[in-house]
Amino acid sequence: MQPLQIAILAAGKGKRMHSAMPKVLHSLAGKPLLAHVLQTARTLKPRAICVVEGSGDDVRRRFPDPDLVWARQDPPRGTGDALRCALGRLPADGVTLVLFGADPMARAPTLERVVEHARRGALSLLTVDLDDPSGYGRIVRAADGTVAAIVEHSEATPEQQEIREINTGVMAAPTAAFARWLGEVRAENSSGEYFLTDVIAMGVRDGVQVTTTTAPDADEGLGVNIRRDLAELERRHQKLQAEALLDAGVSLIDPARIDVRGNLSCGRDVTIDIGCVFEGSVTLADNVTVGPHCVIRDSKIGPGTEIAAFSHLDGAQVGARCRLGPYARIRPASTLADEAHIGNFVEVKASSLGARSKANHLSYVGDSTVGADVNIGAGTITCNYDGANKHRTVIEDDVHIGSDTQLVAPVTVGRGATVGAGTTVWKDVPPGTLALNEKTQVSRNGWKRPRKG
């Protein structure tokens, strides 16, 4: 079997995106467009992947992956010239598959069929049928149905513009044939560019079989030229993600209102309400319920846990049967043991809470180690930052912290201790004691409340 290599054309500046950022770095489902293409390319197990970049090093810096070979196309002179740049950095034998860095929707099984035709010596094309083919190159066929040429939209006659079968740009052929044809491509067109599609007519001329693989889903041929394209692809991609979750048994209150920007793994009987965003790697165990408009990033949620509306979790490890929110914020390096409760407007950062511990209202727990069966009253804050360094607070098991308490780290509250409401704790509290700041309450007779004049 002939070895496979892949050329990914990613040098376009994306002027129509009206952005200083290269088009392939714009985000789809939380990852650059090029990242999606690379992920698919790697599943084909090629011996080499060459990415063609434009001027500047933004793309290469974003993808320092050691398995990538880089070629530069500067100035940009069309897709034919871009592939020529790539072939200069790839082995001269085998089969070359051409992909585009801003076209992320092609699936590996479809591309495998394209490559298989090329391994038999054909010039192999991926096509789709579109209801609106505007802007895409048309597949022009001879009377016997064989491919005669591809005509770019800007060069097509009115009759050719009525053709619905379009060239996705994805193609594969023996590498030596590509090199031979590209040597003949000329920039004799209205844009002055070297069109890769010109090799189709050359293949026909040379008697090479030109085969087509029609993608089973037209979405596989879609790419990004303008921001409207990107927004449309985002919704299409999210629709696929939602359908996969539904097929796996997840209950989505509205499949059109969920965004998965990474990998979401769900157990049995998981329910996700509207407007939720999942980023990075997220795992929801059995019977997890996520309320509306939550954002969860790089977190693992234990079985039976309920996350109420508008809660944000980032880098959290949450145990079983916990209750979070609404409006809870769990920041990185935080761990909640089983049956912990984090309530409304409570923030936890770089802290661990033991089993059955609670912070239910308006509190900040930062850089803290909290034991089991601890109750943290409303308005409590850990004062962990002295302006230069972070310090740790330790709250041992079965401690009760009264409302409106400040714990000035470094400090330890011993097992079974109680801290009275409104206390500022700046010294360690021994186990089993009551800590408070003594105050005198005064009532003044005859005092008159001020009134507006």
Residues classed as catalytic: 361
Buried b (16+ CB within 10 A) or exposed e, 150-175: bbbeeebeeebeebebbbbbbbbbbb
Tokens of 105: 């929707």
CA distance 153 to 56: 29
CA distance 406 to 379: 9
Around Cβ 387, how many Cβ atoms within 10 Å? 4
CA distance 412 to 430: 8
- From 250, 253, 273, select the one nearest 264 (Cα to Cα): 250
Ramachandran angles phi, psi of 213, nearest 5° = -115, 120
Q: Name 72's Cβ contacts closer than 8 Å, sequence gap at least 6.
A: 11, 52, 53, 54, 55, 85
Tokens of 428: 């360690």
Whether residue 56 contacts residue 124, with contact meaning beta carbons closer than 8 Å, is answered with no
Tokens of 213: 């693989």
- From 436, 340, 353, select the one nearest 397 (Cα to Cα): 353
| Residues forming a β-bridge with 97 | 6, 172
CA distance 171 to 54: 21
Q: Name 207's Cβ contacts closer than 8 Å, sequence gap at least 6.
A: none
CA distance 421 to 406: 10
Whether residue 174 contacts residue 88, with contact meaning beta carbons closer than 8 Å, is answered with no
The radius of gyration computed from the CA coordinates of the chain, to the nearest angstrom, equals 31
Angstrom CA distances, 39 to 42, 109, 335, 362, 432, stand at 5, 13, 31, 43, 57
